[in-house]
């Protein structure tokens, strides 16, 4: 889920992110090999599953970290939460980018996207990003799973922890935004 700026962030930016801190609790590189990796992160949000799904599917431009956009402006992002729908971004001068395509939309439960976010978009890889939600007390446990496989142009085992860190940060921002309307509210979500 690293929709990083292709020319501004790219792999060097991901390396910088790695130096800034570790993925933290709840983040796991489940598997990494030369041709594939599997990531999983979970957080608990104080919001109910319907509110989490609404934030994820309809308000991505309000919680996504703008550093991981092509335009530098998160509000340029949108998701059409239906099979075949686009997770797209408007760029300057009328440009656009399709970060992923929706392949499963189950309101209140699951949103699954197919697409390799930059820098993966430039590689011959296949990637599936799944968000699932389950009630957890008065809140919701949100789990992100990202499966990526193919012909990497860099060592995928080294790339996986960087991608995992970005995915986990986005997941935490989603959990906080769904609960409080503020993606930076660290008290609004608890990692597991």
The DSSP-derived string for 153-188 is SS-HHHHHHHHHHHHHHHHHHHHHHHHHS-TT-GGG
Please report which confidence band the pLDDT of residue 10 belongs to, taking 50, 70 and 90 as the band edges: very low
- pLDDT score of 118: 78
pLDDT, averaged across the chain: 85
Instruction: Give a yes or no: residue 8 inside a domain.
Output: no
Instruction: Give a yes or no: residue 101 inside a domain.
Output: yes
- pLDDT score of 85: 98
- pLDDT score of 25: 43
DSSP structure class, residue 82: S
Distances (CA, A) of 143 to 42, 45, 172: 4, 11, 10
Q: For 89-109, what is each residue's pLDDT tens digit? A: 999 999 999 999 999 999 989
- pLDDT score of 4: 35
Higher pLDDT, 91 or 9: 91
Q: Is residue 11 scored above 70 in pLDDT?
A: no
**Alpha-carbon 46 to chain mean position:** 19
Instruction: Give a yes or no: residue 67 inside a domain.
Output: yes
Instruction: Give a yes or no: residue 14 inside a domain.
Output: no
Instruction: Give a yes or no: residue 41 inside a domain.
Output: yes
Q: For 28-50, what is each residue's pLDDT tens digit? A: 899 999 999 999 999 999 999 99
Domain count, the chain: 1
- pLDDT score of 124: 87
Taken in order 126, 109, 189, 101, is the CA torsion positive or negative? positive
- pLDDT score of 190: 52
Q: Is residue 171 scored above 60 in pLDDT?
A: yes
CATH code for position 145: 3.30.530.20
Q: How far apart are CA 126 and CA 179, in angstroms?
A: 32
Instruction: Give a yes or no: residue 12 inside a domain.
Output: no
Domain extent for 112: 23-191
Higher pLDDT, 27 or 64: 64
Instruction: Give a yes or no: residue 172 inside a domain.
Output: yes
Q: For 115-133, what is each residue's pLDDT tens digit? A: 998 788 889 899 999 999 9
């Amino acid at each position: 889920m690293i929709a990083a700026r292709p020319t501004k962030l790219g792999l060097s930016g991901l390396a910088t992110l790695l130096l800034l801190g570790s993925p933290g609790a709840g983040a796991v590189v489940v598997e990494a090999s030369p041709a594939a990796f599997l990531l999983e992160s979970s957080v608990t949000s104080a919001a109910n599953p319907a509110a989490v799904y609404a934030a994820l599917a309809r308000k991505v431009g309000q919680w996504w970290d703008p550093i991981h956009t092509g335009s530098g402006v998160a509000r340029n992002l949108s998701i059409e939460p239906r099979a075949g729908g686009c997770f797209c971004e408007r760029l300057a001068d009328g440009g656009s980018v399709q970060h992923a395509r929706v392949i499963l939309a189950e309101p209140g439960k699951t949103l699954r996207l197919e697409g390799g976010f930059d820098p993966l978009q430039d590689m011959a890889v296949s990637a599936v990003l799944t968000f699932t939600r389950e009630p957890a007390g008065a809140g919701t446990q949100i789990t992100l799973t990202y499966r990526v496989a193919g012909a990497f142009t860099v060592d995928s085992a080294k790339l996986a922890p960087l991608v995992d860190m970005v995915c986990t940060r986005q997941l935490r921002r989603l959990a906080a935004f769904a609960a409080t309307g503020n993606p930076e509210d660290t008290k609004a979500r608890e990692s597991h």
